Amino acid sequence: MKTTLYWLAILGSGTLFGFGLSISTMIQPEIVLSFLRFEDFGLLLVLGGATGLTMLFYQMAPRILKKPLIAAQFGQKPVDTMKRTLLGALIFGIGWGICGVCPGPAIAGLGAGNWPLLIALFSMLAGAYVQGRWFSGN
Helix ranges restricted to H, 37-116? 42-64, 82-99, 103-111
CB of 130 to another protein, least distance (A): 6
CB of 125 to another protein, least distance (A): 6
Quick check: 3 binds another protein (CB under 8 A)? no
Quick check: 4 binds another protein (CB under 8 A)? no
* Binding residues among 76-95 for another protein as defined by CB under 8 A: 76-80, 82, 84-95
12-21 long-range Cβ contacts below 8 angstroms, 24+ apart: 17/104, 17/108, 18/107, 18/108, 18/111, 20/50, 21/104, 21/105, 21/108
CB of 121 to another protein, least distance (A): 7
* Binding residues among 33-52 for another protein as defined by CB under 8 A: 33, 36-43, 45-52
